[in-house]
Amino acid sequence: MNERYKDLQLAEQGARLSMVAYVTLSFAKLFIGNAFGSASLSADGLNNFTDVISTVAVMIGLRIARRPADEDHPYGHWKAETIASLSTSFIMLLVGLQVLFSSFSKLTGGEFTTPDIVSGVTALIAGFIMIGVYIFNNRLANRINSIGLAASAKDNLSDALTSFAAAIAIFGSIFGLYWLDGVMAVIVGVVIIKTAIDIFRESAFSLSDGFETNYLTEYRQAILDIPDVQQVTTIAARSYGANVYVDVTILLDAELTVLRSHEITEEVEERLRKAFNVFETDVHVEPLTH
């Protein structure tokens, strides 16, 4: 349990890194984009500004998830992390739609400007910075199995790609392709919306107790490999944040002692914990009669 709380603290560090990057880049992009007339850089800056809000939501979710179980939450507050990811998807969706519509309006209205090279360099540097933040957060999220930080890492990657897209558009506009800046701003909006939908699907799937069936197949086989386990009649799992809870019913020989049956249930719990990082397993034993 203490290890899991430490993992959440590490996830908060990753979220804070994202926060620093977003605050710095959003102000730089919005200032330079407006000063030098780059629609795509300004759109990317607005995206980064809203990422500050979504990162705050993730940090709050991670902090709440660290609260221990209480009378009203006997299973703990782990799902707060997933709820934070869900709220992040809504924020990103609204921003993506706003960027998409405003950029499309400029395109259809024929509003073309020639951004300065400073805008292009700014977008390029921002892209490399966000790639670095993505690599750090993605590795950390995979290591500690953090849903909230994983969502934040996806957002980091989306921001890196949109910054590179903005850089391409700006340099293209400098060389006479004035329409490219508006087109890439539209693409930025589409990328933001797609990332928001992906995060929403994953969060909603987890919150509705959805669970990948291929994992259940692996759990079942691992349990059947334990000596004296005759059958696995039922097995189900659900996620509480990054934690997996498994409910399984196994059949054992009716002649086994109570002590041996208890030892087997502990073996099942230990096998799933070590092999698959299952947080908690509830094992129900039934006798197999011949």
Here the CATH number for the domain that contains residue 243 is 3.30.70.1350
Residues 96-122, mean pLDDT to the nearest whole number: 73
Is 45 in the same domain as 72? yes
- Residue 42: phi, psi to the nearest 5? -65, -40
Is 93 in the same domain as 201? yes
Residues 91-95, mean pLDDT to the nearest whole number: 81
Is 45 in the same domain as 188? yes
Structure tokens at 289: 């009669």
**Confidence at 219, pLDDT banded by 50, 70, 90:** very high
pLDDT above 90 for 129: yes
- pLDDT digits over 32-43, tens only? 888 877 776 777
Is 188 in the same domain as 60? yes
Given 152, 176, 208, which residue is the final one in a domain?
208
CA distance 99 to 88: 17
- pLDDT digits over 160-189, tens only? 887 888 788 778 877 777 777 677 778 778
Q: Which of 4-8, 197-201, 268-272 has the highest mean pLDDT?
A: 268-272
Q: What is the pLDDT of residue 131?
A: 94
Pairing of strands 243-253, 229-240: antiparallel
C-beta of residue 172 within 8 angstroms of C-beta of residue 53: no
280-288 β-sheet, strand order: 229-240, 243-253, 280-288
Q: Which residue has the higher pLDDT, 207 or 224?
A: 224
pLDDT above 90 for 211: no
pLDDT above 90 for 146: no
C-beta of residue 170 within 8 angstroms of C-beta of residue 119: yes
Q: What is the pLDDT of residue 270?
A: 92
Domain range spanning residue 244?
Answer: 213-287
Is 109 in the same domain as 201? yes
pLDDT above 60 for 113: no
- Split into its structural domains, the chain has a count of 2
The residues that bridge with 153 in the sheet, in sequence order, are: none
Percent of the chain with pLDDT over 70: 93
CA distance 154 to 184: 20
Q: Mention every residue, 6+ apart, whose C-beta is less than 8 A from residue 17.
A: 133, 136, 137
Is 189 in the same domain as 277? no
Is 92 in the same domain as 203? yes
Is 119 in the same domain as 235? no
Is 139 in the same domain as 257? no
Is 255 in the same domain as 195? no
- pLDDT digits over 40-53, tens only? 677 778 778 878 88
Q: What is the pLDDT of residue 26?
A: 87
Q: What is the pLDDT of residue 115?
A: 61
- Helix ranges (DSSP H) in the chain: 2-36, 39-65, 80-108, 117-144, 147-174, 179-207, 213-224, 258-276
Distances (CA, A) of 50 to 43, 45, 115, 119, 147: 11, 9, 23, 20, 20
